[in-house]
Amino acid sequence: MNPFSSGTRLRDMIRSIRACKTAAEERGVVRKECAEIRASINENDPHDRHRNLAKLMFIHMLGYPTHFGQMECLKLIASPGFPEKRIGYLGLMLLLDERQEVLMLVTNSLKQDLNHTNQYVVGLALCALGNICSAEMARDLAPEVERLIQFRDPNIRKKAALCSTRIVRKVPDLAENFINAASSLLKEKHHGVLITGVQLCYELCKINDEALEFFRKKCTEGLIKTLKDITNSAYQPEYDVAGITDPFLHIRLLKLLRVLGQGDADASDLMTDILAQVATRTESNKNAGNAVLYECVETIMAIEDTSSLRVLAINILGRFLSNRDNNIRYVALNMLMKAIAFDDQAVQRHRVTILECVKDPDASIRKRALELVSLLVNANNVKQLTKDLIDYLEISDEDFKEDLSEKICSIVDKFSPEKIWYIDQMLKVLSEAGKFVKDDVWHTLIVVISNASELHGYTVRALYKAVLTYSEQETLVRVAIWCIGEYGDLLVNNVGMLGIEDPVTVTECDAVDVIEDAITRHNSDMTTKAMALVALLKLSSRFPSISERIKDIIVKQKGSLLLEMQQRAIEFNSILDRHINIRSSLVERMPVPDEAASRARRSGSLPASDSTMSKPSVSIPNGVTAAPLVDLLDLDSDDILAPPTSSGVDFLQDLLGVDLGSSPAQSGATPPPKAGTDLLLDILSIGTPSPAQNSASSIDLLSTADTLSSPAPSSIATTAPSGMFDLLDGLSPSPSKQATNGPAYPPIVAYESSSLKIEFSFSKMPGNPQTTNVQATFINLSPNTFTDFIFQAAVPKFLQLHLDPASGNILSASGKVTQNLRVTNSQHGKKSLVMRMKIGYRVNGKDVLEEGQINNFPRGL
C-alpha cells in the first residue's frame, strides 16, 4: 500500500459507511469513495488496484453502480500475485456478467491459470469459470477442465467436476466428452469428490440420452453399493450430521438413482431393496434423517412399478404430517400433492391428518394443505369435507378466509351432488365470508337458484333469515336482494315449503325493510344499491298493498348523488306514475338463464369473462363507472348474453341493436336466452307503443352510450356512431343473417411466415356497407405448439376496429384458432382497408413476436 495515497482503507470505509445515520449520508460517503476510486483507477497505480476492487465489491453489495471497476478485475486477474488474482476473480464473479464483451478478454487468463503450477490458483480459476462460464468459454476451456477431473488433489477434482456440470449445461454437445471422466469419479472414496461426481452424472443423464443409457448399464449397481456402504457405515465425524452419515451424499445418490430408475424396470428392480432399507432404517427424529427420507420417498414415487414401496413411502409422508416440525409438515404436503397422481387411495387414508393441517397456525402450511384437500375431494367425500371446511371457515383468521372460501366454492361447484345442498353450502359460505368471494361466485349462485324452480321459496326464505344476521356480508346481501325482488311473493306466502323448513312469518313490510336497509346503508356499494332499486321496482308489482311505501323509497333516490341511481330512480318513478298498466309485465319473473351455457362459459372462455369484469372500470367523466350500469341491467352481461362481449360499451350497443329490431319479449313463452332478458331492455321494447316516451329514453340511453364510449381505449374501439347507425336504420346485428349471407368478397391470405399463416374471410352486413365482418383464421405451420397466442391490430383513423375474443389462445401443431373482427370504414368507397398487426405467442418457453402490415384487402370493403 502506498502510504501517501489519498484513499482510505477498506476497513475505514466500512466504518464510515456504518457510522452514517441516514441513507442520504451513506450515499454521500459512497459517492466520495467512488470518486476517489475512479481517480485512482485513472492514475493506474497497480498498488491501489487490490484495495479499490475490494471496496467496489462492498459498494456493489450495498446496491450502487460499480461498472467502472470491471476492467480493474481483468488487470488484477492478469497480475502474477495470488492475493491480486484472488480479489480479481472474486470481482469477476460479482461484478461481471457472462453476456458482457469484457468477458471475452478473460478467457486467455483463465486458460493460463487452469494450467498454473500453484493448485490454489487453479482452484480460483475453476471457481470463477464455474460461476460465469459462457458457451464460448465452455468450448474453449472444456479440455482443461476435463483434464483437471483427474488431478491429484481432491479439492481440485471436485471443483473441476462441478465446473464440468456448468460446461455441459451451457453446451450440451460437450456431454459425451465427460462421460468417462464422470464414471471414474463415482469410484471415489473421498466424500467431497464423490458428491460432486454424482452431481456431474446427474447433469449428464438429464442432458444426454446416451449418457443416461451408459450410466444405467454400467453404474447402477456400483451406485447401489455405494449407497449401501454409507447407509451401513460406522460413525464418520467429518460428514456426520445429527447421527446420519453424510445426508447430502445420501440425497445426491438417491437423486441419481431416481433418474436411472425412471422409465427402466430393470434398474428400478435393482434398487428396490436399498430403497426399502433407507426408507425403513433411517432415523427420523432429526432434520437430516427426514431430508434423506424425503428424498427416498421422491425416488420411490418416480421409479417404475413398486407398489408395495409406494405404500411405504406414502406412510412415511403420513408420519411427516404429524411431525412437530413445521418444515417437515410443509414438505410432506408438497410431496403428497405429487403422490396423489400415483396413488389416490393411499393419500386418501391420511385425509383426516391433512384436514388438520388446514387449521395449522403456519399460513404457508395452511395454504398447501388447502390445495391438497381440494385435490382429494371426490363425489364420495365431498359432503364431509365441505362440512369440515365450512366449520373451520367460521373460526379461521380473517386473512385466510379469502383463500378458504374460494376453495370451498370451487369444490362445492364442482362436486355438488344436488341443488339444495349446493344452495345451502353457498349460503353458508356467503354468510361467513361474503365480503371475500369473487363476483362470479354469486353470479353463478343466482343462475343456479333461478334454474331450481322448486327451491325458489326455500331459498328466498333461507336468504331472508341469513341476511338479518349477516347484513355486513355484501355479496350475501346482493343475492338476498335479488331473490327477494324476484320471489318476494313466495317469501311472504310461504309457498313451496319443504319438510325440513321451520315455518317463518314474514310480512311484506319486513321484506321491504331488508331492501330499504340495503339501499340506505352508507357502506353499501353502488352495485348493491342499484340492485336494491331494481328489486324495489319488482316488489312494487308483487306487493301491491304497500306499493306507495315502495314508491316513497324510490322517490328518495331521485336525490341520490350517484348519477346512475338518480337516473334510474327517475325512470322507475315515471313507470310507477304514468305507466302503471305496463308495470306488471315489465317486472315479470326473469327468464331462466341457461345454466349449462354459463357453466361452459366460465370454464371454457374464462379469459373473456375476466375481461368483462375488469373492463367496466372505464370511468366516465362524471366519476361514475360503467360497471354499475351493467349490473343494474342485472346479471346478464356476464351470464346470459351468449356471445362474450369484451366491454360494457359493446354490451350497450348490443342492447340497442337487438332491442329495436326484435319483437318485444312475450310473456308466457320462454324467450331464447339471447333475446331481451334484462329489465331495461324490456322497458324499452314494451315502451315502443308510446313513441314519445320511447324516443326520450332511447336518446337518453344513447347519450349514456356516447359518454361511455368516448374514453374507451382505442384498441377496443367500438363506437357510438356505429351504434347510432344501427339504431337509426333499425337493424339488428344478428349473426345468423351473416351466415346465410355468404362471403361476397374473396378470402385473402393476410400474412404468412415460416411458422404462421393468417387467412381473412369477409362478410358484410346487409344495408350497412361501411362495416365489414372479418373472420381471421390463424394456422400454425410449425411442428410446435404455440401458447398465449394473441393477435393485435391497429388501423388508421378513418377506420374503426372491433376485436372479438379469439376462439382460443393455444395453437397446437397445424391447429387453428379463429377470431372475429369488425371494421367500420368511414371513408367507404374512397379508401380501402389497411391494417397493421402484431402477433405474440410462446413457443418452447420463448416469447415470439411477429409483425406485419396487411395491404391486400379486396377493393371496395
Partner 1 sequence: MIKAVMMMNTQGKPRLAKFYDFLPVEKQQELIRGVFSVLCSRPENVSNFLEIDSLFGPDSRLVYKHYATLYFVLVFDGSENELAMLDLIQVLVETLDKCFSNVCELDIVFNYSKMHTVLDEIVFGGQVLETSSAEVIRAVEEISKLEAASNAISLVPNSVSGWRGR
187 binds partner 1 (CB under 8 A): no
Q: Closest separation between CB of residue 415 and partner 1, Å?
A: 27
Q: What are residue 852's phi and psi, to 5 degrees?
A: -175, 170
Interaction residues for partner 1, span 493-522 (CB under 8 A): none
68 binds partner 1 (CB under 8 A): no
98 binds partner 1 (CB under 8 A): yes
396 binds partner 1 (CB under 8 A): no
Select from 114, 182, 195, 393 the one that contacts partner 1 (CB under 8 A).
195
Window 354-393: contact mask with partner 1 (x via CB under 8 A): -------xxxxx-x--------------------------
- String of b and e for 334-361 (b: at least 16 CB within 10 Å)? bbbbebbeebeebbeebbebbbebbebe
18 binds partner 1 (CB under 8 A): yes
Q: Closest separation between CB of residue 340 and partner 1, Å?
A: 17
341 binds partner 1 (CB under 8 A): no
Q: Closest separation between CB of residue 365 and partner 1, Å?
A: 6
User: For partner 1, which stretch binds (CB under 8 A), given 152-160, 213-221, 510-518, 723-731?
Assistant: 152-160
731 binds partner 1 (CB under 8 A): no
Q: Closest separation between CB of residue 69 and partner 1, Å?
A: 12
Instruction: Pick the closer one to partner 1 by CB: 363 or 498.
Output: 363
- String of b and e for 182-191 (b: at least 16 CB within 10 Å)? bbebbebeeb
User: For partner 1, which stretch binds (CB under 8 A), given 47-55, 348-356, 476-484, 652-660?
Assistant: 47-55
User: Which among 263, 253, 257 is positioned nearest to 291, based on CA atoms?
Assistant: 253
Interaction residues for partner 1, span 265-304 (CB under 8 A): 287-288, 290-291, 294-295
14 binds partner 1 (CB under 8 A): yes
Instruction: Pick the closer one to partner 1 by CB: 282 or 704.
Output: 282
Residue 287 amino acid letter: N
60 binds partner 1 (CB under 8 A): yes
Q: Answer whether 185's CB lies under 8 Å from 157's CB.
A: yes
488 binds partner 1 (CB under 8 A): no
Select from 150, 326, 792, 856 the one that contacts partner 1 (CB under 8 A).
326
User: Which among 376, 382, 466, 458 is positioned nearest to 429, based on CA atoms?
Assistant: 466
Give the distance between the most distant pair of CA atoms in the chain. Answer: 105
User: For partner 1, which stretch binds (CB under 8 A), given 52-60, 300-308, 464-472, 806-814?
Assistant: 52-60
Q: Cα angle at 678 between 665 and 427, to 5 degrees?
A: 130
SS3 call for 551: helix
Q: Closest separation between CB of residue 614 and partner 1, Å?
A: 20
Q: Closest separation between CB of residue 354 and partner 1, Å?
A: 16
Helix-helix angle 265-281:287-302, to 10 degrees:
160
Instruction: Pick the closer one to partner 1 by CB: 126 or 519.
Output: 126
Helix-helix angle 307-321:351-358, to 10 degrees:
30
User: Which among 351, 350, 370 is positioned nearest to 360, based on CA atoms?
Assistant: 370
Instruction: Pick the closer one to partner 1 by CB: 289 or 591.
Output: 289
Select from 21, 99, 797, 830 the one that contacts partner 1 (CB under 8 A).
99
Cell 464423490 maps to which residue?
194
Q: Closest separation between CB of residue 97 and partner 1, Å?
A: 4
Residue 71, C-alpha cell as written in the block: 476492467
Number of residues that bind partner 1 (CB under 8 A): 81
44 binds partner 1 (CB under 8 A): no
407 binds partner 1 (CB under 8 A): no
Q: Answer whether 88's CB lies under 8 Å from 105's CB.
A: no
Q: Closest separation between CB of residue 124 and partner 1, Å?
A: 9
Select from 41, 57, 182, 515 the one that contacts partner 1 (CB under 8 A).
57
Instruction: Pick the closer one to partner 1 by CB: 235 or 581.
Output: 235
Distance CA 587, CA 682 (A): 9
User: For partner 1, which stretch binds (CB under 8 A), given 29-37, 92-100, 418-426, 535-543?
Assistant: 92-100
Q: Closest separation between CB of residue 320 and partner 1, Å?
A: 10
In 424-552 the beta strands, taken as DSSP E runs, fall at none
Q: Answer whether 161's CB lies under 8 Å from 182's CB.
A: yes
Select from 19, 39, 62, 781 the one that contacts partner 1 (CB under 8 A).
62
Distance CA 498, CA 703 (A): 48
Q: Closest separation between CB of residue 335 and partner 1, Å?
A: 10
User: For partner 1, which stretch binds (CB under 8 A), given 247-255, 560-568, 609-617, 749-757?
Assistant: 247-255
Q: Closest separation between CB of residue 130 and partner 1, Å?
A: 3
Q: Answer whether 311's CB lies under 8 Å from 348's CB.
A: no
Select from 16, 64, 604, 716 the one that contacts partner 1 (CB under 8 A).
64
Pairing assessment for the beta strands 768-780 and 816-825 based on DSSP bridges = antiparallel
Burial (CB count within 10 angstroms: exposed 0-12, middle 13-18, buried 19+), residue 307: exposed
Q: Answer whether 440's CB lies under 8 Å from 638's CB.
A: yes
70 binds partner 1 (CB under 8 A): no
653 binds partner 1 (CB under 8 A): no
Window 662-701: contact mask with partner 1 (x via CB under 8 A): ----------------------------------------
82 binds partner 1 (CB under 8 A): yes
Select from 25, 45, 97, 394 the one that contacts partner 1 (CB under 8 A).
97
Q: Closest separation between CB of residue 132 and partner 1, Å?
A: 8
Distance CA 405, CA 435 (A): 10
Distance CA 444, CA 591 (A): 15
Half-sphere exposure of 247 (CA within 13 A, CB side): 19
Q: Answer whether 256's CB lies under 8 Å from 214's CB.
A: no
Residue 410 CB partners (closer than 8 Å, separation 6+): 374
Select from 45, 71, 83, 607 the one that contacts partner 1 (CB under 8 A).
83
Q: Answer whether 543's CB lies under 8 Å from 551's CB.
A: no
Helix extents (H) in 494-632: 508-520, 526-542, 547-556, 563-578, 580-586, 595-604, 606-614, 627-632
User: Which among 271, 274, 286, 294 is positioned nearest to 231, based on CA atoms?
Assistant: 274
Q: Closest separation between CB of residue 363 and partner 1, Å?
A: 7
247 binds partner 1 (CB under 8 A): yes
Q: Answer whether 354's CB lies under 8 Å from 369's CB.
A: yes
Interaction residues for partner 1, span 206-245 (CB under 8 A): 238-239, 241
Q: DSSP of 796-856, one letter per residue?
A: -TTEEEEEPPPS-S-B-TT-EEEEEEEEEETTTTTS---EEEEEEEEETTEEEEEEEEE--
Instruction: Pick the closer one to partner 1 by CB: 245 or 819.
Output: 245
Interaction residues for partner 1, span 585-644 (CB under 8 A): none
Q: Answer whether 296's CB lies under 8 Å from 278's CB.
A: yes
Instruction: Pick the closer one to partner 1 by CB: 364 or 827.
Output: 364
Interaction residues for partner 1, span 164-183 (CB under 8 A): 165-166
User: For partner 1, which stretch binds (CB under 8 A), given 96-104, 465-473, 541-549, 669-677?
Assistant: 96-104
Interaction residues for partner 1, span 102-131 (CB under 8 A): 118, 120, 123, 127, 130-131
User: For partner 1, which stretch binds (CB under 8 A), given 63-71, 345-353, 558-566, 581-589?
Assistant: 63-71
User: Which among 854, 839, 725 is positioned nearest to 795, based on CA atoms?
Assistant: 854
